[in-house]
């Protein structure tokens, strides 16, 4: 498919798409439309469509995206199938396009010299090597993490790549592979999660820290927000102020950028609990989490060895008694 065709599909108004399915907004303004979520049964509207950017966000889930993402969710289809279905009805209205716009955070080969890249698929299933990276290297509870993750498949100069994708508020994705690549599918933005839950709001620098927190806790009772970069502090402050949220717990990195971000929140008038005092000897929350899991695994192995040796000693004594 040509890039202009994909751009045309993504300009197809979400409001019109929902209208064709008999779904009408509860409230409509020039800038947005508010719905009861078409993704589940609810009584209070929490599903918003930004009609200027043609993006949707489900505040109860903390997820959103383009019309393609919505079609995949509502119709349970693949990326290519969603594009085919939407292509039959897409109009030439609108100008918004972001899904093929990669923004690198380092010098990995995801960006070719001429910027050429091609998005192949966004799926709900991570391949084994990315699952293993999360569980073995990052010590993430995969069952808890998967509702927040996608597999992003793309191609650069004929070479195929896959990365873990974490959606943001504007329909972009944060990307990680199982090596050192970090990147973004633009636009870059924050990711609010569990927005119907209580203060204090737990603030995380990156999604791996959030997934670590998720893995460490039996239950999450707090509103959470992943900044996806300390460069999004100002955007985070606006989000919190717009919702009159004043109390936060900052789970930021133990570096100068993390400390500056904490000070920015304090200067903005928030009641800040700086949680890195609990992992002050570690780089970040995930580093602390991995260390804890490794220690637990070590103790468990030692206990099993002790039990095994004790059992062997008992058997040896029983054999000696029988021989007397």
pLDDT for the residue numbered 306: 65
286-314, pLDDT tens digit by residue? 999 999 999 998 888 887 776 766 666 66
pLDDT for the residue numbered 41: 77
pLDDT for the residue numbered 90: 57
| Domain boundary assignment for the chain | 3-87, 102-185, 190-319
Which of 279, 305, 296, 281 has its CA nearest to residue 139?
296
By the 8 A CB rule, do 133 and 178 touch? Answer: yes
Rounded to an integer, what is the distance from CA 119 to the centroid of its chain?
18
139-196, pLDDT tens digit by residue? 999 999 999 999 998 877 788 889 999 998 887 889 999 988 888 877 788 999 998 8
Q: Which fold has domain 3-87?
A: DNA Primase; Chain A (3.90.580)
What burial letters (b/e) apply to 129-167, b meaning 16+ CB within 10 Å? ebbebbeeebbbbeeebbebbbbbbbebeeeebbbbbbb
CATH class of 190-319: alpha beta
| Cis, peptide link before residue 182, omega less than 30° from 0 | no
By the 8 A CB rule, do 58 and 68 touch? Answer: no
By the 8 A CB rule, do 98 and 172 touch? Answer: yes
pTM of the model: 0.64
Tokens of 16: 């019109």
Three-state secondary structure call for residue 92? coil
110-147, pLDDT tens digit by residue? 333 344 457 788 888 999 999 999 999 999 999 999 99
Q: Which of 68-82, 188-202, 221-235 has the lowest mean pLDDT?
A: 68-82
Rounded to an integer, what is the distance from CA 153 to the centroid of its chain?
16
């Amino acid at each position: 498919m040509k890039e202009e065709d994909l751009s045309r599909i993504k300009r197809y108004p979400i409001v019109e798409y929902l209208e064709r399915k008999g779904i009408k907004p509860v409230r409509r303004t020039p800038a947005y439309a508010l719905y009861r979520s078409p993704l589940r049964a609810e009584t209070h509207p929490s599903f918003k469509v930004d009609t200027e950017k043609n993006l949707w966000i489900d505040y109860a889930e903390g997820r959103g995206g383009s019309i393609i993402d919505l079609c995949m969710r509502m119709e349970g289809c693949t990326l290519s199938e969603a594009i085919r279905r939407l292509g039959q009805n897409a109009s030439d209205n609108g100008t918004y396009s972001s899904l093929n716009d990669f923004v690198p955070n380092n010098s990995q080969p995801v960006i070719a010299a001429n910027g050429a890249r091609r998005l192949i698929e966004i799926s709900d299933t991570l391949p084994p090597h990315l699952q293993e990276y999360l569980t073995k290297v990052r010590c993430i509870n995969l069952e808890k993490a998967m509702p927040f993750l996608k597999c992003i498949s793309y191609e650069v100069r004929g070479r195929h790549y896959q990365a873990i994708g974490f959606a943001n508020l504007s329909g972009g994705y944060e990307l990680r592979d199982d090596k050192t690549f970090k990147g973004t599918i633009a636009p870059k933005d924050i990711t609010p999660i569990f927005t119907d839950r209580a203060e204090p709001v737990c603030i995380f620098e990156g999604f791996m820290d959030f997934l670590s927190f998720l893995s460490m806790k039996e239950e999450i009772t707090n509103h959470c927000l992943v900044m996806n970069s300390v460069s999004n502090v100002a955007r985070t402050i606006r989000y919190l102020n717009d919702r009159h949220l004043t109390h936060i717990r900052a789970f930021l990195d133990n570096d100068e950028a993390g400390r500056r971000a904490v000070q920015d929140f304090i200067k903005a008038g928030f009641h800040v609990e700086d949680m890195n005092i609990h992992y002050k000897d570690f780089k970040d929350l995930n580093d602390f989490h991995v260390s804890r899991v490794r220690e637990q695994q070590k103790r468990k192995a030692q206990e099993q060895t002790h039990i095994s040796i004790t059992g062997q000693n008992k058997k040896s004594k029983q054999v000696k008694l029988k021989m007397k």
